[in-house]
Each structure stands twice: as C-alpha cells, then as structure tokens.
Amino acid sequence: MFASVLVANRAEIACRIFRTARAMGVRTIAVYSDADAKAKHVREADEAVHIGQAAASESYLRGDKIIAAAKAAGAEAIHPGYGFLSENPDFAQAVIDAGLIWIGPTPAAIRAMGLKDEAKRIAEEAGVPVVPGYRGEAQDAKTLTKAAKDVGFPVLIKAVAGGGGRGIREVNSAGDFAAALESARREAQAAFGDDRVIVEKLIARPRHIEVQVFGDKHGGLVHMFERDCSLQRRRQKVIEEAPAPGMTEAVRAAMCEAALKVARAVQYENAGTVEYVVDGSGPLREDGFWFLEMNTRLQVEHPVTEAVTGLDLVEWQFRVAAGERLPKTQEEITLSGHAIEARICAEDPSEGFRPSVGRITRYDAQSVAGRIDAGFDRGDAISPFYDSLVAKYIEHGSKESPRLRRSVCTMAAAQLGRLEIDGPTTNIGFLIRCLMNEAFHEGHVHTGLIADNLAELVDGSINRSVAAIVAALADAVAHSESNPWDAKDGWRMNCGTRAAWRFECGGDHVEVTLVRDRDAWRASVDGAAHRLTGVGGNRAGWVWAEVDGAYRDGLVIREGARTTVFVNGDRFFFETPGASREHADGAASDEVKAPLPGKVATIATRAGAAVRKGEPLVTLEAMKMEHQLKAPRDGVVADVAVEEGAQVKEGALLVRLVGEDEAA
C-alpha cells in the first residue's frame, strides 16, 4: 500500500476519501483554491497545497498544478474524487506518466466510456441492450431530424460528451426538433466543448437503476448489486437507494451480468458504475432495461452500496490501485437491508431551487443518528464557484421485514429534521417531503415523480402553523421569571395563562394566542384552534409539543426581534412588527441583478420590450446549473446591460426596467 495520497477535489468527497486514508494509515494531502483556504477538507488533511484562484478552471481543473502539488508534497498516489478531473483520461495518463499511482480506471477505459455514442457501441457489441436511437457521425440537422422520425417521437437529444444531466433535451414532435437541437448543441458546446449529439427513444415512465462494478489489475471483476436513483430533478439525482424497489432476483441477475459484460469489454479496473434506463410502467422485467452510460469513477451515491454490502469502496479503490487483488469474491459480497441517501444542497426549492451561498452560521449534527458525509462545518462558507452539495445523509435499516423500506424512509425523514443548518437555505424540507411522499413511500418511483408533484414538494407552508406556535412558546418561556432555557434537564411550560403574538412571516401577518387550560394548552393560529399537550424544550433551542395529538418539534433561534424556527427542515422567520428590520421593503425593484457570479447563457428580451411580472429575462449559468432570472414586475425593458456569453460578478446589473408610463 502507498503511504500518502493527494485528493484532487474538495468538500464532501475529499473529506470522505481522507476518512478511509486515515483509517488505513495513509498520509493525506489536500489541494485548495483561494476560495477554500480555510475549508474543512483543508483542515482535515495532514498537509494542504494551494493550487490557484477560486474559478475551478484555475485550480481544481488544472491537472498540471495538481501533479506539481503532488510532487511537492511527496504524494505517492492521486485520488480524483468525482466531478472535476475524475473522468479526464489525459489527466489520468499525466498522473501515471509523472510516476504517481492513479486511483481510478485506466485512461483507455475512461476514454472508451467517455463519449455516449462510443460507449453504447461497446455495450451493444458486448450483447447488452441499448436504448434505440441514432449514434451516427453525420450531425447535420436534416439527418438528425430524419433519425428522430425513424426512432419515433418522443425522443431525447443528448450531448455525446454530456454528463450531470446537461446537454439533454426532450422533444415531443418533429416541429420542435430544430429549436431543441440548437439549444442542446449550445449547452453542449459551452459545457463540454463538443456539440455533437445522439438521438434516443424516450422511455416512458422511466426509472434509473445502476450497477456498481469493481475490477482489479489481475482480471478480477465483481458487481455490488444495484442502486435506484430514479428520484431526479432535471435529470440530476436527489435521493438514491439500494436495493431498487420491486427488484427480483432474476432481473437483478440480468442487470448485474450485463454490467459485468460492459466492464469486461474495456478490461475495467477500479470502481465504476453501469447506468441503465428502465421501463418503470409495470413490474421490472429482464427485457425492460437499456444501457445508458458508464461512469468511470466513484459516484456521489456510493454510500448506499457501502451500507447494504458493509464494504468500504474507497478502501477497495486504494487496494486495487496499489496492485492488490479484489478483497472479496463475488460470492462473499452480500446484500443486507435497505439504504437511502439524500443529497443536502444549499438551495431554495421554493425559489426554483436557486443556489444559496454564504456563511454557515449553525451546523449541528449531534442529534442525528445515521451516517453524514459533510463537506462543511459551522463557520464555513458555501462558495458560488462550486456546486451546492453541502452533505449527504445516509440511513440504513438492516432488520428484514416487508415494511423495511418504508421504515427507512420515515427514519431518514425524521433524522434529516434534526440536522441543524442555518445561514444558506437548504433543501432539507424538500427532501423530507420527497421521502414522505405517498408514491415514493410505496416504492412507485420514476424519474418524473418530483416534476409531477413539484408544487407540493417545494411548499413548506404545512409546517408554518406549528412553527408559529413554537415561536410563541419560545417567546413565552423566555419571558417567564425563572430562565427555563438554562435548566439542564429541559423545561416544562409553566407561565402565564393567556398571551397573544402578532408576527410577520414572509410578508404575512400571523396571529398566535396561547391559553392555558390546566395541564393542556389551547393555541390558535390565525383563528384555527389547536390543542397542545406535553409542551417542553431544552437549552439547545428545541421546543416540542403534541399538537392535536401528534408529536411535533422545532428548533428556535432568537435574535432581537427576529425568531428563526426550523420545523421538519423548513425554515421560517418570525418578526415582531414595529421592530427595526435590516432588510429592505418588498417594493419590486427596477433592476434585475446577478444573484451570484456566473455566465450569461441566454437573454430572452431586448430593450423596449414590454414584460410581465415573472417573465424569464435572462438565463444565468452558475454552480453547474442554469438559473432563470425573471421580471420583478410588469414594465418595459429600458436597458439590457450584458451580452450573451458574458461573465458577470455577483450583483452585476443585467436588465433595467421602467414603468409602462415612463417608457411612453
């Protein structure tokens, strides 16, 4: 085994790899950009090397600087993590040429699987079913349109070099094809520097199921069963699990055998994933799955496989890269229980999943059971330069029962509600609603589930009454004579007999009254009555009660006139009216500014155009996503201050509006 490893990545994945390295006695070396000088992965490493400016293209994507850092720090091996350079065959080759150990597949295997058309040819030759479609060299619009008609609508246009859900367009009829093609090409060129596409049949009610494979340098090759990653938003994974709901032994055998065939065709070594799109319109079938692509790296969702197999995949990566044989044979790898992973991101689901950057003012996972792979801690900042993944939560249930998956979902939802993160907005409330969604709970997963239920999944308002009660209780307790928050064993509600509050919450007025009725309390929120029993709290800021017979709790953070309450992962701000507030009034602004640094992808308006409130004006590309910036009010565009393709700073003016009368 090598004695030192450099991780060419950041955040959660770097911390994850360091954990195994430490356990194996391998010295850890981090690299960091200007934005990450004090980051958690830097703090946790034995040594850290600065590699450049904040922009990934100046640091985490600079293979030359990373290899120089490895040399300078005396690293024997490089682990690329995922994203960044992990699937770059030239980087893998450069690492090997520099005399270092590359912890990943061979450059040849990465290259063979790097393009979706070539990968599908290899799979087809290996006898693995592939989605019907066009993968030819000719790329003119006429050929592609004809190909789409031959395949039959609806189809998907996909960037040959695509990844992370980018460069994909769904087309439902021939009339829409040309525009979709152009837009897919533009995105593909910008994101991957390659505008070639393939055309594929769109599978109805699809599921995404993938198989983890592992090979060594001695011809050893095994699979580690499947993961279901069907819960997606815009073709990006949100929640993943293992095993797949409804999987049968026969279908599993067929999918795993096919994955091994693909891997064998490229003499695969180290960790890899074979992805399939699956017909989810009925029970899983042996003839109902098709090869999509192979990801030649460790994946974000590898922990669910670790949970159900009891293996450490990073340890396997190290051993295989060092030349050892696979630690276990296929027969020795077994599947136990059910595991679910949820990706916790700094984003605001209720605002179109807009990324939320800035300092993490609170981070506490102490009362959360289960595994958390985090890339940040209290005091760290979410940077606009990278993706928004903060941490992953992994729940594993091992007691076999027909209700196991349901109980794992419920358990994961409960634990996520205990994770305390403040500062940037997170998607935790959304994740909890996904986990508790009736169809998901029943295992009826498919890739459209989130889109079909979007309105209810992003809406945290069902928790608002409980949050308002919690805010009132916290205030009542804070004003009682003894300071019950200081009691070591928690407090019990024991103050006045009637009190009323008037809060402002998200622009609305909320009225709460609490009336004591012997041991119980009656609360009313905006006139609706609730019965409270068993009211209590602790000094960590948690307040709990049975509200109408159901146990509910909330975390309270009081700062002056503002009370922040978290209930089930949703955050609410309650302010006492009249108190001074730091933020501006709600008057709709005349200016559309960049909420974060990024690149102007498209401009959907021009000077002089009349626009309606909510109409998309500019698409900004930032943090690996596209964000639509909409008109804050009705008006006329006075000025478009940027051009397509421009790089803009946070706060940069993009579009200025004037009132319809001013424009006249």
Q: Which two tokens stand for residue 429?
A: 């409330």
CB of 633 to ligand ADP, least distance (A): 35
CA angle 442, 448, 451 (to 5 degrees): 105
b (16+ CB within 10 A) / e for 219-231: ebbbbbbbbbbbb
Q: Which partner from the list Mg ion, ligand ADP, none does 162 bind, CB cut-off 5 to 8 Å by kind? A: ligand ADP
Pick the binder of ligand ADP from 4, 236, 336, 538 (CB under 6 A). 236
CB nearer ligand ADP, residue 383 or residue 463? 383
Pick the binder of ligand ADP from 13, 70, 432, 466 (CB under 6 A). 13
Residues contacting residue 293 through CB under 8 Å, at least 6 positions apart: 113, 116, 119, 120, 275
Q: Which two tokens stand for residue 259?
A: 């994955």
CB nearer ligand ADP, residue 158 or residue 464? 158
Q: Which partner from the list Mg ion, ligand ADP, none does 598 bind, CB cut-off 5 to 8 Å by kind? A: none
Is the Cβ–Cβ distance between 645 and 602 less than 8 Å? no
Considering only residues 344 to 363 of the shown chain, the ones binding ligand ADP according to CB under 6 A are: none
CB nearer ligand ADP, residue 189 or residue 236? 236
469: helix, strand or coil:
helix
Considering only residues 250 to 289 of the shown chain, the ones binding Mg ion according to CB under 5 A are: 275
Stretch that binds ligand ADP, among 4-12, 312-320, 333-341, 425-433 (CB under 6 A): 4-12
Pairing of β 635-640 and β 371-374: unpaired
Is the Cβ–Cβ distance between 516 and 498 less than 8 Å? yes
Considering only residues 568 to 587 of the shown chain, the ones binding ligand ADP according to CB under 6 A are: none
CB nearer Mg ion, residue 208 or residue 571? 208
297 included as an active-site residue: yes
Which residues face 575 on adjacent strands? 504, 562
Instruction: Measure the CA–CA gap between 338 and 357, rounded to whole angstroms.
Output: 33
Decide: is 162 part of the binding site for ligand ADP (CB under 6 A).
yes
Instruction: Measure the CA–CA gap between 366 and 451, rounded to whole angstroms.
Output: 33
Q: Which partner from the list Mg ion, ligand ADP, none does 294 bind, CB cut-off 5 to 8 Å by kind? A: none
Instruction: Measure the CA–CA gap between 281 and 312, rounded to whole angstroms.
Output: 34
Q: Which two tokens stand for residue 148?
A: 């789409």
One character per residue 262-301, x = contact with ligand ADP (rule: CB under 6 A): -------------x-x--------------xx-x---xxx
CB of 602 to ligand ADP, least distance (A): 20
Pick the binder of ligand ADP from 2, 12, 241, 309 (CB under 6 A). 12
Instruction: Measure the CA–CA gap between 496 and 214, rounded to whole angstroms.
Output: 65
Q: How many residues bind ligand ADP (CB under 6 A)?
A: 36
Region of residue 440 (phi > 0: left; psi between -120 and 50: alpha; otherwise: beta): alpha
CB nearer ligand ADP, residue 5 or residue 294? 294
Considering only residues 444 to 463 of the shown chain, the ones binding ligand ADP according to CB under 6 A are: 447
Pick the binder of ligand ADP from 50, 71, 146, 235 (CB under 6 A). 235
CB of 524 to ligand ADP, least distance (A): 45
Q: Is 62 exposed, middle or buried (0-12, 13-18, 19+ CB in 10 A)?
A: buried
One character per residue 386-415, x = contact with ligand ADP (rule: CB under 6 A): -x-x--------------------------
Instruction: Measure the CA–CA gap between 420 and 541, rounded to whole angstroms.
Output: 11
CB of 132 to ligand ADP, least distance (A): 9
Q: Which two tokens stand for residue 290?
A: 């098709």
CB of 198 to ligand ADP, least distance (A): 9
Considering only residues 70 to 109 of the shown chain, the ones binding ligand ADP according to CB under 6 A are: 82-84
Instruction: Measure the CA–CA gap between 478 and 500, rounded to whole angstroms.
Output: 14
CB nearer Mg ion, residue 275 or residue 621? 275
Is the Cβ–Cβ distance between 378 and 424 less than 8 Å? no
Q: Is 253 exposed, middle or buried (0-12, 13-18, 19+ CB in 10 A)?
A: exposed
Q: Which partner from the list Mg ion, ligand ADP, none does 278 bind, CB cut-off 5 to 8 Å by kind? A: none
CB of 387 to Mg ion, least distance (A): 16
Dihedral angle computed from the Cα positions of residues 141, 145, 146 and 151, in that order, rounded to the nearest 10 degrees = 140
Instruction: Measure the CA–CA gap between 464 and 456, rounded to whole angstroms.
Output: 14
* Catalytically annotated residue among 297, 354, 405, 418: 297
250: helix, strand or coil:
helix
CB nearer Mg ion, residue 184 or residue 413? 184
* Residue of 79, 96, 63, 70 whose CA lies nearest to 19: 79
CB of 165 to ligand ADP, least distance (A): 4
CB of 84 to ligand ADP, least distance (A): 5
Q: Which two tokens stand for residue 19?
A: 């954990």
Q: Please list the active-site residues.
A: 297
Residues that bind Mg ion (CB under 5 A): 275
Residues that bind ligand ADP (CB under 6 A): 9-13, 82-84, 131, 156, 158, 162-165, 200-203, 206, 208, 232, 235-237, 275, 277, 292-293, 295, 299-301, 387, 389, 447
